[in-house]
Structure 1
Amino acid sequence: MRRKKSLLLLGLALLLMVSLTGCVPGDGKNTVEYPAGFFWGVWHGWIAPISLIVGFFKEDIRIYEIYNSGWWYDLGFYIAIISGFGGISLSRKKKKERH
């Protein structure tokens, strides 16, 4: 039963990741007139590992959006990179205190 649950969660996570890669940096949604802002920076930071893998197969996909708003995009990007890779972990379990 536990194995089925793990496989189901893995499948759902993979499906979610594949469906959300439609918003990777370099996909043409952001231009000089409409640069990526803070929230796009957060999003691009969260999906940076996926963007890296996709970038191996599609030449125009990058980890970082070149058409961005500057400092605010950078701030969002770095916040997401730091929090997504160990700074803030949603999967950490708290140790139970023994009395």
Structure 2
Amino acid sequence: MPPRYIPSAAVLTLLLAACATQAPDAVSTAPDTPGFWWGLWHGFIFPWAWIGSLFSDNIAVYAVPNRGGWYDFGFFLGVTVLGGGSFFGSRRKAE
């Protein structure tokens, strides 16, 4: 992508992201609803949960309902930081 298109792509991405919303029935404030820590755990086990979900309808990779933004943040951290994210793919191999 030529450098002159990067600002346009960034603006288009932000405009599309501004349209995103979470379904109101997917967010709950009940005491037993998964929050940040469960999101962190679910993000960490995501690869195994995804494989399991291919073989069983009883396994889900994302808890619904959840507490909303904090669950999402924990899930994101679990997938990217605890799960390795792009860190392991970005290492240079010894030559």
Smaller-chain TM-score bracket: 0.5 to 0.7
Mapping 1:75-90, distance limit 5 Å: 75-83=73-81, 84-87=83-86
Instruction: Write out aligned runs for 1:27-42 (5 A).
Output: 33=30, 34-42=32-40
TM-score of the superposed pair, with normalisation by structure 1: 0.52
CA shift in 2, pair 1:62/1:81, >3 Å: same
Pairing of 1:16-55 with structure 2 (within 5 A): 33=30, 34-55=32-53
Residues 22-79 of structure 1: CA distance to partner in whole angstroms, max 9, x if unpaired? xxxxxxxxx9742101000000000001101111221021111112110000000001
* Distance in 2, Cα, partners of 1:73 & 1:32: 12
In the superposition, the TM-score normalised over structure 2's length comes to: 0.54
Equivalent AA in structure 2 for residue 42 of structure 1: L
Runs of at least 4 residues of structure 1 off by over 4 A? none
Question: 1:32 touches 1:67 (CA, 8 Å); kept in 2?
Answer: no
1:86 deviates by 3.4
Q: Name the residue aligned to 2:25.
A: none
- Alpha-carbon shift at residue 85 of structure 1 (Å): 2.9
Does the 8 A contact of 1:37 with 1:72 survive in 2? yes
- Give structure 2 stretches of 5+ with no counterpart: 1-27
Task: Output the CA distance in 1 between the equivalents of 2:29 and 2:38.
Answer: 15
Identity in percent: 38
Query: 2:58 aligns to what?
Result: 60
Question: In the alignment, what sits opposite 1:5?
Answer: none
Corresponding residue for 1:72?
70
Count of paired positions: 61
